[in-house]
């Protein structure tokens, strides 16, 4: 397992609650969710070294269900509707 540093994070209670809810929705630990969000933000900003550009694969990093990783609920499927015959 890769070496991990630990540090104290001061965060607004509202933001912490939102992160906890997001983590619960995606079956991640709070720490895993924070790491996931930071990794994604660093990747999008082009701040990650080339060796770390692909998302890390840890049991804590991926949702265990088929929901989107955006934190949004899945969109309902749009079934074609048939015109009513009256």
Q: Determine the Cα–Cα distance for residues 48 and 54; give it in Å rounded to an integer.
A: 10
Q: Which of 3-12, 42-51, 69-78 is the least confident region?
A: 69-78
- Flag whether pLDDT at 84 surpasses 80: no
- Flag whether pLDDT at 56 surpasses 60: no
The pLDDT score that the predictor gives to residue 66 is 46
The pLDDT score that the predictor gives to residue 59 is 46
The pLDDT score that the predictor gives to residue 39 is 94
- Please report which confidence band the pLDDT of residue 2 belongs to, taking 50, 70 and 90 as the band edges: confident
The pLDDT score that the predictor gives to residue 38 is 95
Write the DSSP string, 5-71: --------HHHHHHHHHHHHHTT--HHHHHHHHHHHHHHHTT-S-GGG-SPP--TTTS-SSSS-TTS
């Amino acid at each position: 397992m890769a070496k991990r540093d630990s540090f104290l994070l001061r965060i607004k209670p509202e933001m912490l609650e939102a992160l906890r809810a997001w983590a619960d929705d995606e079956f991640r630990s709070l720490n895993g969710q924070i790491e996931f969000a930071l990794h994604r933000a660093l990747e999008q900003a082009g701040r990650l070294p080339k060796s770390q550009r692909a998302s890390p694969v840890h049991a804590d990093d991926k949702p265990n269900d088929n929901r989107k990783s955006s934190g949004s609920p899945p969109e309902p499927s749009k079934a074609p509707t048939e015109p009513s015959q009256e």
